[in-house]
Amino acid sequence: MTSETANGYAGDLPPQEAWQWVQDGTAILVDVRSDAERAWVGRVPDAADIAWKQWPGMVPNEDFDRQLQQLPRDKKLLMLCRSGVRSIAAARRATELGYTAYNVLEGFEGDLNEQGQRGTLGGWRRRGLPWVQQ
């Protein structure tokens, strides 16, 4: 296991390990990006889509706790956002709610490159993991 213990949540996982946990049935991937991000950039099939913040204005999702609490407590929750920042906050909140929650490193789109663009340096998509664009 390559996860590391983190402050306020269970740890951080590389995207490939997160996908393995989902495939073996021990975890649920929770996509905490906004509905707009999933629509514009792509989404992970069968992920639980529960926005941490919503567009426009990136305002907190008032229903986050209620939506999250619909998920089973016997599975680990793997939080995925665009770059791996919002997912840390969401993992901390899920932990406060009694879940075992992890942050997926690199997010869906990865880090910014020298030109200030995402999608070329790591990330769920770049690692060749399942995603669709609608």
pLDDT tens, position by position, 50-84: 999 998 888 999 999 999 999 999 999 999 999 87
Per-residue model confidence as pLDDT tens digits over 87-124: 999 999 999 999 999 999 999 988 767 876 666 678 89
Per-residue model confidence as pLDDT tens digits over 6-28: 689 999 999 999 999 999 999 99
Q: Residue 122 falls within a domain, yes or no?
A: no
Q: What is the model's pLDDT at position 74?
A: 96
pLDDT band at 1 (very low <50, low <70, confident <90, very high): very low
Q: Residue 78 falls within a domain, yes or no?
A: yes
Are 80 and 107 a contacting pair, CB within 8 Å?
yes
Give the domain extent around 19: 4-103
pTM of the model: 0.91
> For the chain, what is the domain count?
1
CATH number (domain holding residue 94):
3.40.250.10
**Burial of 88: CB neighbours in 10 Å, binned 0-12, 13-18, 19+:** buried
Q: Residue 12 falls within a domain, yes or no?
A: yes
What is the Cβ-side half-sphere exposure of residue 121, based on CA atoms within 13 angstroms?
10
